[in-house]
């Protein structure tokens, strides 16, 4: 996980998305992950493993991902899959996380079905997906999800939705777009000065957004991403 301990002009494009997920995972680890083992599907380099193990009573942690050249230079997952079927027995896990993964799956319904197979009855599942974000991992960036689609897919695959919230509403969405433009879209010769002037605006908008209701999804609302806590029926 990147060092994001402090908000700066240079990291304002990633600071809020990363810290929001980190704070969410830490809270869920303390309050929800109270027994057994955990599956990290689409784990990458397992950036949240230490955070979860230090803040929960999880006894074992398994990272599963598709084979990728990056694993020649870093920590490998505990198990590889082909994006369709995980080579593990059914009803194996008490908890699972799917962090910024579902947008990359060409057949997301299959991923939900596989999670349902792998999790025990009453197992916990934490999912995060982006809504407003740049194209990434091109060309393997497949989808963006509304809360309604995510809820439907979960319920159709034997999950009960416990919490479903956005990460940011209108003010936070504007803050994110300004930060992304300042650090990535603005012409390089103007980037430093534009970032300097936009920095306090980004901070103000994110602070203003913090008081908005993230669990209500109204017509015309803007969001940056969604997180969902579900339980296997």
Q: What confidence tens digit (pLDDT) does each residue in 58-110 have? A: 999 999 999 877 776 677 899 999 999 999 999 999 999 999 999 999 999 99
Segment 50-61 shows an average pLDDT of 96
> Which range is least confidently modeled, 17-21, 69-73, 189-193?
69-73
Residue from 91, 107, 86 nearest 40 by CA? 86
Q: Model-level pTM?
A: 0.94
User: What pLDDT was estimated at residue 201?
Assistant: 98
Residues 187-216 have a mean pLDDT of: 96
Q: What are phi and psi of 89, to 5 degrees?
A: -70, 155
Residues 93 and 120 sit within 8 Å (Cβ to Cβ): yes
Rg of the chain, C-alpha, whole Å: 18
Whole-number Å distance between alpha carbons of 52 and 2: 16
* Nearest of 49, 19, 46 to residue 33 by alpha carbon: 49
Ordered strands of the 225-232 beta sheet: 79-80, 60-65, 37-41, 93-99, 119-130, 225-232, 159-166
Domains of the chain, earliest start first: 15-168+214-232 (3.40.50.150)
Confidence check: pLDDT of 2 > 70: no
pLDDT, residue 3, reads: 58
Does residue 174 carry a pLDDT above 80?
yes
**Could you tell me which of 116, 91, 111, 93 has the C-alpha nearest to residue 101?**
111
């Amino acid at each position: 996980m990147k060092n994001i301990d402090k908000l700066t002009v240079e990291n304002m494009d990633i600071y809020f998305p990363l810290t929001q997920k980190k704070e969410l995972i830490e809270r869920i680890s303390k309050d929800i992950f109270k027994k057994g083992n955990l599956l990290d599907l689409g784990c990458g380099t397992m950036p949240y493993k230490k955070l979860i193990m230090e803040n929960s009573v999880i006894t074992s942690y398994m990272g599963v991902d598709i084979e990728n050249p990056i694993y020649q230079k870093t920590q490998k997952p505990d198990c590889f899959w082909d994006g369709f079927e995980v080579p593990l027995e059914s009803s194996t896990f008490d908890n699972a996380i799917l962090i910024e993964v579902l947008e990359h799956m060409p057949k997301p319904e299959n991923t939900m079905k596989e999670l349902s197979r792998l999790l025990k009855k009453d197992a916990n599942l934490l999912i995060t997906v982006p809504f407003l974000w740049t194209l990434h991992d091109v060309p393997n960036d497949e989808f963006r999800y509304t809360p309604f689609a995510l809820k439907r897919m979960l319920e159709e695959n034997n999950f009960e939705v416990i919490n479903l919230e956005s990460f940011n509403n209108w003010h936070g969405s504007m803050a994110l777009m300004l930060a992304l433009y300042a650090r990535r879209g603005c012409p390089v010769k103007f980037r430093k000065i534009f970032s300097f002037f936009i920095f306090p605006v980004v901070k103000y908008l994110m602070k203003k957004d913090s008081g908005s209701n993230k669990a209500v999804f109204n017509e015309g609302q803007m969001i940056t991403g969604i997180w969902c806590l579900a339980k296997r029926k």
